[in-house]
Amino acid sequence: MRISYEFFPPADLDFTRVASHFNELKGFQPAFLSVTFGAGGSPEDKSLGLIKELQAHTNVNVAAHLTLVGKSIDDIDTIIQKLKILNVKTIVAIRGDSPNNLFVPAKKGFINTSDFVAYLKRNGFEVCVSAYPEPHPESEGFDFDLQLLQNKVEAGASKAITQFCFDLPQFDRLVESIAQRNIDVKLIPGIMPVASIKNILRMADRCGIVIPKSVTNRFNGDLDEDIKAAKELCLEQIEYLQNLGLNDFHFYTLNRSDLTYSILKEITANEIHEHKSRNAKSWQEERIKIRN
């Protein structure tokens, strides 16, 4: 299993605190990290500051999220030159949220994400994009989102990180549809540990995500019981997705390490146990062969 983490620039600009949470998690050997594009004034500077801080603590590739909304191509050029100075190799290319959910291309900007992807690819970046098990809030539906994903991959994207999703059969449809269309992309499910079910419900509402009652009913407000439920839920998600052939997982840390650490520690313990069990079985089978 390969894992990665997402962090975001904190409002108080305390990058050291975010790095301390990463340090708690880096022992699980992430394949890469991603830093979201900060909101508010000078958002790229916030993201660049966090990228610098994380790079000081690891040699792991730190990918930068970059949105096209509200930016001219000249604006994009300015940002990617700063990213190149930091030796950023990968960009998570996203259209970004528009006011009132009505996308209007910036003057002298990109009209769609696939053109944005192609531009970043021509500038030497590995490009990762988004994918949606459930339709995006502004989407015409699943097939519409799937076509956008195909367009982005044909433009040069090699990886796609999914929006978090708790209605797991939605992943069956996404995986099957990608295979049927021969979309050549590494699909990386986004995993959202439930530190607070109320916060997750608010995020889900904004993102058009359905949280099944079978999930919400697990949480009753008792801290210890909710942590246990969150761990069990996450482990079940990963097992389900692995049975679909997926083995890369991107953890939305929300700039916290405690719950993600607890989940990954249990996964690691389970993997070690399974590895020992397989070795013991192989050793026993070998002894039987020798006796025979």
| Residues with active-site annotation | 6
Query: For 27, which DSSP code?
Result: G
Residues 45 and 83: beta-carbon distance below 8 Å? no
> How many C-beta atoms lie closer than 10 Å to residue 26's C-beta?
17
Nearest-angstrom CA–CA distance, 271 and 253: 22
Contact at 8 Å (CB) between 68 and 116? yes
User: Using an 8 Å Cβ cutoff, are 257 and 19 in contact?
Assistant: no
Q: Up-side HSE of residue 45: CA atoms within 13 Å toward CB?
A: 5
130 near 163, Cβ under 8 Å? yes
Instruction: Write the secondary structure of 6-17 as one string of H (helix), E (strand) and C (coil).
Output: EECCCCCCCHHH
HSE value, Cβ hemisphere, 13 Å, CA-based, for 5: 27
Sign for the pseudo-dihedral over CA of 274, 280, 286, 292: negative
Structure tokens, 184: 């050549």
